[in-house]
């Protein structure tokens, strides 16, 4: 691993983040936010810390100083975002549910009936069903990579 020099271009930029200061979810997001400009790898470092290592994409370069500044800013922003979100999640949910059930504003296209109790029950059942199905289907279409044990001897391929 190269030692970063201020203002220089190097191949890896590591950061150690204490989980007592920044929860793991926040560290993951802050790293993710910068994954458009770099490859990023996270690993546990001892007890209570995470090492976040940025490296350039093939043929690319990294500015260590700029990256350090950006990552620090992202960590702080994410801490604030997470706190604001946690404080307002219930209120937000209430408002959106209320908007879903409210009568349409006038003037409007054909008036919405709003949700009857039966429709609300239907909606709740649908939510439960969709939650389950989206988890299974949405990104992977029901197909996921296999472990060695499952994969051995089977060929996969994108349909085309």
Query: CB 136 → other proteins: shortest distance, Å?
Result: 11
Q: Are 114 and 102 in contact (CB under 8 A)?
A: yes
- Residue 158 as a binder of other proteins (CB under 8 A): the answer is yes
Closer to other proteins by CB, 9 or 126: give it: 126
Could you report how far apart the first and last alpha carbons of the chain are, in Å? 41
- Residue 36 as a binder of other proteins (CB under 8 A): the answer is yes
DSSP-assigned beta bridge partners for residue 51 = 16, 43
- Residue 66 as a binder of other proteins (CB under 8 A): the answer is no
- Residue 55 as a binder of other proteins (CB under 8 A): the answer is yes
* Letter string b/e over residues 98-128, b meaning 16 or more CB atoms within 10 A of that residue's CB: eeeeeeeeeeeeeeeeeeeeeeeeeeeeeee
Query: CB 9 → other proteins: shortest distance, Å?
Result: 17
What x-and-dash track marks residues 110-139 binding other proteins by CB under 8 A?
x-xx-----x--xx--xx--xx-xx--xxx
d(CA 42, CA 136): 26
Closer to other proteins by CB, 54 or 64: give it: 54
- Residue 107 as a binder of other proteins (CB under 8 A): the answer is no
Q: Which of residues 81-100 bind other proteins (CB under 8 A)?
A: 81-85, 87-89, 91-100
Orientation of helix 24-33 relative to helix 64-101, angle to 10°: 110
Strand 9-10 versus strand 62-63 pairing type = antiparallel
Q: Which of residues 1-20 bind other proteins (CB under 8 A)?
A: none
∠113-114-119 over CA atoms, to 5°?
Answer: 105
Query: CB 94 → other proteins: shortest distance, Å?
Result: 8
Number of residues that bind other proteins (CB under 8 A): 81
């Amino acid at each position: 691993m190269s030692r970063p020099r201020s203002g220089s271009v190097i191949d890896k930029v590591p950061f150690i983040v204490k989980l007592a200061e920044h929860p793991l979810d926040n560290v993951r997001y802050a790293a993710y936010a910068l994954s458009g400009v770099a490859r990023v790898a996270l690993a546990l470092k001892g007890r209570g810390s995470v090492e976040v290592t940025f490296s350039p994409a093939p043929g690319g370069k990294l500015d260590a100083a700029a990256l350090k500044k950006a990552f620090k800013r992202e960590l702080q922003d994410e801490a604030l975002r997470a706190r604001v979100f946690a404080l307002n999640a219930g209120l937000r949910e209430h408002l959106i549910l209320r908007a879903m059930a409210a009568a349409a504003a006038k003037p409007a296209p054909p008036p919405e009936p709003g949700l009857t109790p039966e429709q609300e029950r239907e909606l709740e059942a649908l939510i439960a069903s969709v939650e389950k199905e989206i988890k299974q289907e949405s990104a992977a279409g029901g197909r996921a990579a296999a472990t060695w044990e499952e994969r051995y001897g089977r060929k996969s391929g994108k349909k085309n």
